[in-house]
């Protein structure tokens, strides 16, 4: 592989990392940073899905006659 091609690939990778990772983090709107705009919505969706999963497991336990192995954690709300 020619040296110029390797250099081009390295420069392209560095440029992509800058534009898609470093630049958004410096502006403060990186999706991976805590406190980003999407945290509240994502947290709400996760809580909804966890509650749905808890309900489904409880229904399955009732239908099969089994008791859950450990008590369900208290829900905050």
What share of the chain in percent tops pLDDT 70?
A: 77
Assess contact for 33 and 25: CB atoms under 8 A: yes
pLDDT for the residue 18: 92
Nearest 5°: the CA angle 57, 61, 67 is: 115
* Closest-CA residue to 40 (of 21, 74, 48, 24): 48
Tens of pLDDT along 53-64?
999 998 888 888
Residue 20: per-residue pLDDT: 86
More confident residue, 32 or 10: 10
Q: What is the mean pLDDT of the chain?
A: 82
Instruction: Look up the pTM and report it.
Output: 0.40
Q: Any residues with CB less than 8 A from the CB of 33 and at least 6 apart, and which?
A: 25
> At residue 36, does pLDDT exceed 60?
no
Helix (H, G, I), strand (E, B) or coil at 77: coil
DSSP 26: H
């Amino acid at each position: 592989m020619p040296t110029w091609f390797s250099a081009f690939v390295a420069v392209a990778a560095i440029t992509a990392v800058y534009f898609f990772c470093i630049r958004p983090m410096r502006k403060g709107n990186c999706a991976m940073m805590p406190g980003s705009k999407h945290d509240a919505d994502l947290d709400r969706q996760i809580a909804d899905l966890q509650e749905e999963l808890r309900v489904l497991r409880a229904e399955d336990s009732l239908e099969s006659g089994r008791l859950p192995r450990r008590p369900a954690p208290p829900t905050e709300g």
